[in-house]
Structure 1
Amino acid sequence: MRVRSTVLAACAVSAVLALAGCGGEKADGAGESASSGASTAPLGPIPAIKPADVKPLVGRWVGTAKDYFQFTADGSGVWVRGGQKLWSGTAIPEGGGKYRFSWQGGDPKTASYWGVTLSEKNTKLVFAGTNQTYTKAVAHKGKGKG
């Protein structure tokens, strides 16, 4: 079954992240394990993020494995499953609806599987790490038709 394999893939990624020390309480990645081996290339500084560049990404994106990504206008974000942060850091715009994720507080400078791609109409997000699709949660403003 496809659902079972998707859940297993998500669990595998979660286990790898937990063992690698990915994530952490600080959005800049401070305190993350340097022994994760995710990238052997040196990391660069995270570039300045313009709110206009991340505007389509801002909000909560819900997956089918009871997980979600949430991003703010400054590019910071988290990936959460079962109340546990699997990743926290910065989404770095690459153009064309693609964003790579900061790693251990730095910029990997190249496209990687630690990133997401938005659909043409910005209604779906695909996480390259698991190839799972997420749907943007609708924010209710409570002011009627808004």
Structure 2
Amino acid sequence: MRVRARSTVSLAGLAAAAALALTACGGDGDGGARAGATATATRLAPVPKVSPAQVKPLVGRWVGPARDYFVFKADGTGAWKRGKRTLWSGQAIPEGGGRFRFSWQGGDPQAGTYWGVRLAEDGRTLVFAGTNQTYTKAER
């Protein structure tokens, strides 16, 4: 029987994604005992209307080192996937200067600097702030 060693980067990326998903959802760790207070604290702004011109540099597939990837469409919708599992899906919201934040649960977090990407000046790579991983634009 052969045992395949897993990449430390892969495991670290998954752990970071899981921690991010759990902490970004607005949970306070008490199992929803104060649902009213938590719901009020996590109310998000509506997602702004995005034009195709604003997200044009982001459109396409971006492949990461842990066999995960982002894919964005011309309307700004996108997803972060690993294999058949979707880790995030929603809207890319342009901030300017090659930065895009991501919607969360149908709303705009506005202040979630860790939940978005920054495009490199050459437009061929981006860095996901949630894991600080670099993703390369896939060739068509």
Q: TM-score range by the shorter chain?
A: 0.7 to 0.9
Counterpart amino acid of 1:7? S
Which structure features the higher share of strand residues? 2
- Answering whether residue 13 of structure 2 is matched by residue 10 of structure 1, we say yes
Give the Å deviation of 1:36.
4.1
Counterpart amino acid of 1:99? F
Shift >6 Å, 4+ stretches? none
- The alignment of Structure 1 onto Structure 2 pairs a total of residues equal to 124
Gap regions ≥5 residues in structure 2: 1-5, 29-37
Instruction: Report the secondary structure of 2:95's partner residue.
Output: strand
Aligned-pair RMSD on alpha carbons? Answer: 2.4
User: What's the CA shift string for 1:56-89, capped at 9, x where partnerless?
Assistant: 0000000110100000011100000121000000
Gap regions ≥5 residues in structure 1: 23-33, 140-146
CA distance in 2 between partners of 1:13 and 1:82 (Å):
17
TM-score, with structure 2 as normaliser: 0.79
Structure-2 change in CA distance of 1:122 and 1:36 (3 Å): farther
CA distance in 2 between partners of 1:122 and 1:76 (Å):
19
Higher relative contact order structure (alpha carbons within 8 Å, sequence separation ≥ 6): 1
Which structure features the higher share of helix residues? 2
Q: Which is further off, 119-128 or 39-48?
A: 39-48
Query: Retained in 2: the 8 A contact 1:13–1:130?
Result: yes
User: What's the CA shift string for 1:92-144, capped at 9, x where partnerless?
Assistant: 000000000001110012242110000001110100000000000011xxxxx
Query: Retained in 2: the 8 A contact 1:17–1:86?
Result: no
Give the Å deviation of 1:41.
4.8
Match of 1:25 in 2: none
